[in-house]
Amino acid sequence: MKDSAAQTGLPFMKMHGAGNDFVVIDQRGRGLAAGSGITADLARKIGDRNRGVGFDQLAEITRSDSADFGLIFWNSDGTQAGACGNATRCVADHVMQGMGVDRVSLTTARGTLRAERTADGRVWVNMGQPQLDWQMVPLAREVDHLHLPLAGDPVGIGMGNPHCVFFVDDAEAVDLANLGPQIEHDPLFPQRTNVEFATLLSPGRIRMRVWERGAGITLACGSGACATAVAAHLRGMTGLRVALEMDGGVLEVDWREDGVWLTGPVARVFDGVLSADYVAAAR
C-alpha cells in the first residue's frame, strides 16, 4: 500500500513527561503493518532540534491484536528503545481520553503493559518486573548486578532496556556530559546502557540525573526512575515507593507485587504535520 504521508504529510503530537519530550505519531489509521512506518533515517531527521522537531524519543502508536494499542520507541539517534516509561504514560493518557476509559493495555518490546488513570487524575503505567539476571539486563558476562565491576560500584538493572545506576554524594556535581557516554559504551554493556547518577535525600526521596542511551542528557527518564528506585531498594536504602527529583520534575515509582509502577506529569504541547516533502526526503 502506498504511504499516504508522501502525499499529504505526517501528523504528529509533541508531548512531554517532566521535560522528557516526545514526538508521537499515530499509525493506527494509516493501514500500515506494525513497524513499517518510521525508519531510522526519518527518526533521526525528526529528532534534529534545529532541522526537525526535536525529541528525546519518538513514540509510534500501532495497532495490536492482543492489546488496545502497540508502541514502538525510537531514540533521537535513530536506534530503537525497548522501553520508555514517560512516553508510555503520555500516549496512554491520549488513548484513554480518546476511548473514554480509565484503563488500557499496550504492547511494546518489553511485553504487554497496563496503564490506568487514578481518581486524582494521574496516569500510572506498570513497567513490569525488573530484570535482575545478568543475561537479561543484559551484561556481557556473569557478574554481581548489585555491584558491577566498574569504578563507583554501580548497580545493573534491566527495565526493558539496560540501566547502570550510580549512587553518589552529590548528583549535581557529576560531569554527566563526560561520564555518560563513556559508561554507555563500556564493553560490559553489549547493547550499551542508560546511565543514572542518584543521591539519596531521604528514605523516600532521591535526586537523579540521567544520560540516556541514544539520546544523551535528558530532563527525566521513566525507565531510569524505575531502575534507580529498584536499585535503591535492593541496596537497602529505600522502601518500595520512592519519589525521584529530576531536572524536569518529579516522578514517583511504586514497586508492587505485579510490577514497577510509574507516574508523573503529562503534557500535550502541540499538534503539527510534517510536510510531504520533508517526509519523502528521509525515506
- Check pLDDT > 60 for residue 4: no
The secondary structure element, H or E, covering residue 59 is: strand 57-62
Predicted pLDDT of residue 37? 80
pLDDT tens string 210-243: 999 999 999 999 999 999 999 999 999 999 999 9
pLDDT classification of 5: cutoffs 50, 70, 90: low
| Residue 35 scores a pLDDT above 60 | no
Q: Which member of 84, 90, 164, 226 is catalytic?
A: 84
Catalytic site includes residue 164:
no
Q: Distances from the Cα of 124 to the Cαs of 37, 50, 85, 213, 267, in angstroms?
A: 28, 33, 10, 24, 14
Q: Residue 40 belongs to what H/E stretch?
A: helix 40-47
pLDDT band at 110 (very low <50, low <70, confident <90, very high): confident
Q: pLDDT grade, residue 49 (50/70/90)?
A: very high
- How high is the pLDDT of residue 30? 73
Give the span between the Cα atoms of 82 and 50, in whole angstroms: 26
Domains and CATH numbers, the chain: 5-116+266-281 (3.10.310.10), 155-257 (3.10.310.10)
The one-character DSSP state at 189 is -
Average pLDDT rounded to a whole number, residues 5-26: 90
**Selected catalytic residue, list 90, 164, 221, 226:** 221
**Tens digit of pLDDT for each residue in 53-79?**
999 999 999 999 999 999 999 999 999
Instruction: Record the pTM.
Output: 0.93
Q: Residue holding cell 563513556?
A: 182
Q: Who contacts 277 (Cβ-Cβ below 8 Å, separation ≥6)?
A: none
Are residues 93 and 123 in contact, defined by beta-carbon separation less than 8 angstroms? yes
Task: Measure the CA–CA gap between 70 and 66, rounded to whole angstroms.
Answer: 9
Is 31 a residue whose pLDDT tops 70?
A: no
Cα–Cα distance between 252 and 244 in angstroms, integer? 6
3-state secondary structure of 73: strand
- Give percent of the chain above pLDDT 70: 95
First to last CA, the chain: 15
